[in-house]
Amino acid sequence: MDDHDLEALLLDVRSGAVAPDAAVAQLRRLPFADLGFARVDHHRGLRQGLPEAVYAPGKTPEQCAAIVGELLENGTGPVLLTRADEQQLDATLRRCPGAEVTPREPVTGRLATLSWRHAPGREHRVLVVTAGTADLAVAEECVATLRAYGYGPRVIADCGVAGVHRLLACYDELVTADAVVVIAGMEGALASVVGGLTPAPLVAVPTSVGYGAGLEGVTALLAMHASCAAGVAVVGIDNGYGAACAVARMLR
């Protein structure tokens, strides 16, 4: 309900077409669908510029399917299901076929991202750079989300700073990108180095990849926040989805 709707409602009240107490009730009625176990927000796309995404962990397969179904049937725009296990994936695909599934082939122990009704394609150059091969699972979630939003990101894998020339080889792409997502575990140093090379907006994603002192991503998260490169913005550990959303906000 935006300003326009509100003014229309009040005009109806003045004209007597709507009684005051009915208007009160209507002002309270907000654009979500209550499924009992979830309040599906049909307004979010409008309000945040981002489609509703359903975070699968902790929901039953049936709940996943029902929420995605509600969003597809009564909403508009892209719909995402993130971090789905096999049961959640199956139940939701049965009810809501036609999703793009990432990764295409199931990988042992890796959760899936599903997306329906992609946004029209956009021209921006988005770069997703990972420090190592093992960061690719997080990159995949980020890429799947960006694709649902209409972007065609390019992934550059395995550019860790221990071989900084591998990164410098992409110097042209880095400085001309519209946005860069850096995904790195261990000490997360890649964010600082990339941040020093490019003027593009930069979103850093710490990952839980790495040896003992990585503390499941906390080290990378802290290190990225302590980065000596200015203007590095950080999202949560392993949060490829969040990074994609941050990019979508910047480039809308």
- Binders in 23-82 for a second copy, by CB under 8 A: 23-24, 27-32, 36-39, 41, 43-44, 47-50, 53, 55, 57-60, 63, 67
Nearest distance in Å: CB 98, a second copy: 23
Q: Could you tell me the end-to-end alpha-carbon distance of the chain, in angstroms, rounded to an integer? A: 22
Binding segment for a second copy (CB under 8 A), chosen from 22-30, 70-78, 90-98, 112-120, is 22-30
CA torsion, ordered 38, 44, 50, 56, to nearest 10 deg? 0
CB-CB contact of 190 with 160 (8 Å) = yes
Kindly identify the residues of this chain, within the stretch 160-219, that bind a second copy according to CB under 8 A: 160-166, 168-169, 171-172, 175, 185-189, 192-193, 195-203, 206, 208-219
Strands 126-130 and 154-156: parallel
Contacts of 123 (CB under 8 A, 6+ apart): none
Quick one: which H or E segment has residue 144? helix 136-148
Q: Which of 126, 132, 141, 182 binds a second copy (CB under 8 A)?
A: 132
Binding segment for a second copy (CB under 8 A), chosen from 7-15, 71-79, 94-102, 113-121, is 7-15
Nearest distance in Å: CB 113, a second copy: 14
Nearest distance in Å: CB 217, a second copy: 5
Which is closer to a second copy, CB of 63 or CB of 115? 63
Nearest distance in Å: CB 243, a second copy: 8
Amino acid at 122: R
Nearest distance in Å: CB 91, a second copy: 13
Q: Which residue has the tokens 């990378």?
A: 220
Kindly identify the residues of this chain, within the stretch 216-245, that bind a second copy according to CB under 8 A: 216-239, 241-242, 244-245
Nearest distance in Å: CB 121, a second copy: 19
Burial label for 156, CB within 10 Å (0-12, 13-18, 19+), is middle
Query: Using CA atoms, how far apart are residues 194 and 160, in angstroms rounded to an integer?
Result: 10
3-state secondary structure of 173: helix
Phi/psi of residue 39, each to 5°?
Answer: -110, 100
- 100-103-108 Cα angle (round to 5): 140
Task: Decide: is 104 part of the binding site for a second copy (CB under 8 A).
Answer: no
Which is closer to a second copy, CB of 98 or CB of 162? 162
Nearest distance in Å: CB 97, a second copy: 23
Which is closer to a second copy, CB of 116 or CB of 135? 135
